[in-house]
Chains A and B, each alone.
Chain A
Amino acid sequence: MKKEWKWMGLLIIAVMIASTLSGCIGEEKPETKAPEKPSVITYAYTTSDIIVFWDPSDTYSNEIVAMNNFYEQLVRYDPVKDEIIPVLAEKWDVSDDGLVWTFHLRKGVKFHCGDEMTAEDVKYSIERTMKRGKGAAYIWGSVKQIDVVDKYTVKFTLDVPVPLDLIASAGYCAHIFCKECTETHGQEKGDDGHEWFAEGNECGTGPYKLESYTKSELVMTRFDDYWKGWDGKHFDKAIIKSVPEASTARMMLEAGEVDIVDDLPIEMIEAVEKNPNIEIVRTSSFQNLLGFLNTKKPPLDNKLVRQAISYAFPYDTVIEHIWKGNATQSKGAIPKGLWGHCDTIFQYTHNIEKAKELLTDAGYPDGGFKLTLTYNSGDENERKTAELFKAELAKLGIELDIRGMPWDPQWSLAMATNPEDRQDIFVMYWWPDYPDPLSWLLSMFHSEEEIVFNLSYYYNPEVDNLIDEASQIAGIDRDKAANLYCQAQSKLVDDAVALFIWDQMYLRAKHVSLKGYTDNPAYPHVVFFYDVYKEE
């Protein structure tokens, strides 16, 4: 009897010794040949896939964070100042008709493979992206021709005067990469270089280059020949860690294991803000939440009913309850802070009496019908929003059937051949590929032959014309284009085509010692590692 306890006791003691050893003995040996520890910034990215597309021509997903540190674009967009910042292009000019753009490139910029960046690389990169046609490549759709004028000058000829400077600043599919590298590796594999990229390689001009990659961690190290140079305070290495579980990310942040987390639930943000070592960076983003109303299915095919439920929506409660005030109610389709946003447009407010009035006018004084709402399952914020809406609609005698579905089935349902089978309300986030209202208006409110993202099935030639006209002149006269977008949005709001719910704010939790960080909503979740540094 006693002998079992002895074995058990020995086992427990062994485990205790093992764990103590790991703690104590760590530093006992004099570190004669220990390499000097590099300065590292660690970014906890709450996703399981740090990189989905390695090919810079195909980017469209989480890799935006890594890609915008490996690669650079011709220009970058600063939404605060509403300015285009020169990056790989030093300056550029536009012809009067807006159809010819000439970019003058920076000299002496090196790629990670050692070659110098020239106009040939720019032409090659954009043409390859257009040819592959993946990801956000459509943004270059108006480019008719790209010419190399001389070693450092590139000329773009367009067929429509689009704002090419904004397009070239996009976070996806606008990166410049090394023609030489890509073609050489492409020849080895017998393709356009895609397989070489897909194996986990990069060749950009950015300040950091790839050191190692596993599913849980991406490590970057400084590129010594970066054109901006390394004067001043900069990190030697940058690590992006995949931390899908928010509570783990939070504990890592509080323990100082990571310096910044891209996204934590609002309750954790509030809790973590009390910690004197942590601060929260709040920025208006270009992301908003919309609820598309099915304009082709009764009863929402009646404008009065749509307006009624727009009045029934509890905007303030939702923002207070879900975001604790860290969001703003949407005004129109374009989020606050982006050009094309109209402060003067009408905004529905929560008003049950007004909603009842409109319903009575429409012939439904006591409601008496059912609506189906679909949202992205797993998204707690969308679910809570739907629940709050359900309670309000119940006051009008309208039953709301809430269905959480994974993206694929949700979208498939919206594309069902029989309009009667489709949902009544489709809840979805949207954000632009490059800072232009066209992204919302063209994708979601313009007539389309095949259903893609116009999930209100709203086909109004008047609105189409406004959108088309604006897109034609956005490159030459941005103010006029903004005005036309305003008019289009007024019509959308009046017709209550969708519920314009909230403009999101990004809430980033970071360690106070991390300095120099600004959140640029044009590049969601990207930390430009070159710009940040540590100060204890």
Chain B
Amino acid sequence: MKIQHYIAKRLVLVAFVLFGISVVTFFIARVVPSEPAARWIGLHATAEQIAAARIELGLDKPLYIQYCVYMKNLFQGDWGISIVTHQPVLKDIKEYLPASLELIIVGMIIAVVIGIFFGVLSATRKDKSIDHICRFISIGGVSLPTFWLGIMLQLIFFREMGILPLSGRIDPTLMFTSPLTKVTGFYILDSIITGNWAAFKSSLVHIILPALTLSVYPMGLVTRMTRSSLIEVLNEDYIRVAKAYGISDRLIRYKYALKNAISPTITVLALCFAYTLTSTFLIEAVFNWPGLGGYTSRAILAMDYPAIMGVTLLVATFYVLINLLVDLIHAFIDPRIVLG
């Protein structure tokens, strides 16, 4: 079927999925025993204050009415007020999301570049010592606790060697000497756009350690997946034919073989991307990175249901859209695949 029809059909399914998720999340979050009115007001509140807060938050109405009110507001752009931060949830998300995205994108780029390189290396020198070294690195990557790795990197590169900064997105003294005007929320991009060289250097240098820590897991994943699917492809007949024709090894590897081997890796990467949106809270804690992971974990601990709903719907949307994108990419790469 035509690509527009396919996309339209998929988007309708997206709506269904999001609706289902919203219902499940809402009711689970509300069924767990908690006292959001008390959290809203402050810890030493009196009984009257809590009762008043309950009415203010609309908690005295039946659950399904609360759900309908929430969804109605959602479509009008009001995602509710966070019980913990007392700010509109959408505003909170807008503040935290670019930081998370920037970190994930840089981390993923590192993971993909190094991962594919190691994967190809391992596949072409299968069972030689370089293969074993790569296996060691990649399994280490998926097994090492990110929290620990982050602190180790801080100790080595900040405390002992003093060449990389400890935490944060940018050097705080820059706000006095060369303040960065935020356009997109991506500091590296914004500093390029506004021509702020000091801010560019600083934000680039600050993102290295957290992005490295984040990249280690997907890097391991990519290495192993690339290796195994490439090994399979390299045994195919058409590769042998290409070699017989005298086509260079490098061309075979990166153009012909990799293109066929890359599909499963892309799928896994896409899921990884959506997952890291909130799973980075340990890295964010260690590096003081103001991202979505920390916000979400605090929301969950405080049963901050508007924030929980907001983030869940956001991440769910990311997942389904990325899945759609991945399917389209697969169709693009491999002409054998017919959509629909």
Contacts and interface: CB of A to CB of B under 8 A. Distances in A.
Contact of A19 (B41, B47, B163): B163
Nearest to B46: A138
Contact of B205 (A22, A60, A219): A22
B84 A412 contact: no
Contact of B151 (A241, A247, A254): A247
A394 interface: no
A135 B43 CA distance: 9
Nearest to B297: A48
A133 interface: yes
Contacts of A48: 294, 298
B176 A408 contact: no
B252 interface: no
Contact of B201 (A21, A34, A452): A21
Question: What 7 pairs across the A-B complex have the smallest Cβ distances?
Answer: A60-B42, A408-B34, A22-B201, A22-B205, A245-B285, A408-B35, A412-B33
Interface stretch (A182-190, A210-218, A361-369, A461-469): A210-218
Interface in A6-58: 7-8, 11, 15, 18-23, 25, 34-35, 37-38, 42, 48-49, 52-53
Contacts of B84: 49, 52
A1 interface: yes
Contacts of A378: 301
A216 B168 contact: yes
B288 A408 contact: no
A445 to B, nearest CB: 15
Interface stretch (B2-10, B113-121, B260-268): B113-121
A59 to B, nearest CB: 9
Which secondary structure dominates chain B's binding surface? helix
A241 B302 CA distance: 22
Nearest to A216: B290
Interface in A246-263: 247-248, 251-252, 254-255, 257
Contacts of A242: 288
B124 to A, nearest CB: 8
A52 B286 contact: no
Interface in B81-96: 84-86, 95-96
A239 interface: yes
22 contacts: A15-B208, A19-B163, A23-B163, A42-B172, A61-B43, A198-B86, A214-B290, A215-B95, A219-B175, A243-B288, A245-B285, A245-B286, A247-B151, A248-B154, A252-B166, A406-B302, A406-B303, A407-B302, A408-B38, A409-B32, A409-B33, A411-B35
A408 B302 contact: yes
B177 interface: yes
A433 interface: yes
B74 interface: no
A247 B42 contact: no
Interface of A: 1, 3-4, 7-8, 11, 15, 18-23, 25, 34-35, 37-38, 42, 48-49, 52-53, 60-61, 133-136, 138, 198, 212, 214-217, 219, 239, 241-245, 247-248, 251-252, 254-255, 257, 378, 406-409, 411-413, 433, 443, 448, 450, 452-453
Contact of A251 (B39, B166, B205, B303): B166
Nearest to B205: A22
Contacts of A11: 113
A285 to B, nearest CB: 16
A1 B249 contact: yes
B303 A248 contact: no
Given A216-B168, A257-B166, A409-B34, A133 B52 contact: yes
A407 B43 CA distance: 9
Interface in B263-295: 285-288, 290, 294
A217 B172 contact: yes
B202 interface: yes
B173 interface: yes
A120 B329 CA distance: 68
Given A252-B166, A378-B301, 20 more contacts: A4-B121, A4-B250, A8-B117, A15-B208, A18-B204, A23-B163, A35-B177, A37-B176, A135-B42, A136-B42, A239-B172, A244-B285, A244-B288, A245-B286, A251-B167, A407-B38, A408-B303, A409-B33, A409-B303, A411-B38
A408 B33 contact: yes
Contacts of A133: 48-49, 52
Interface in B32-72: 32-36, 38-39, 41-49, 52
A61 to B, nearest CB: 6
A450 to B, nearest CB: 5
A215 B163 CA distance: 27
Nearest to A405: B33
Contacts of B321: none
A4 B42 CA distance: 59
A412 B286 contact: no
B188 to A, nearest CB: 12
B288 A216 contact: yes
A53 B164 CA distance: 36
A400 to B, nearest CB: 22
Contacts of A247: 151, 286
B318 interface: no
A510 to B, nearest CB: 18
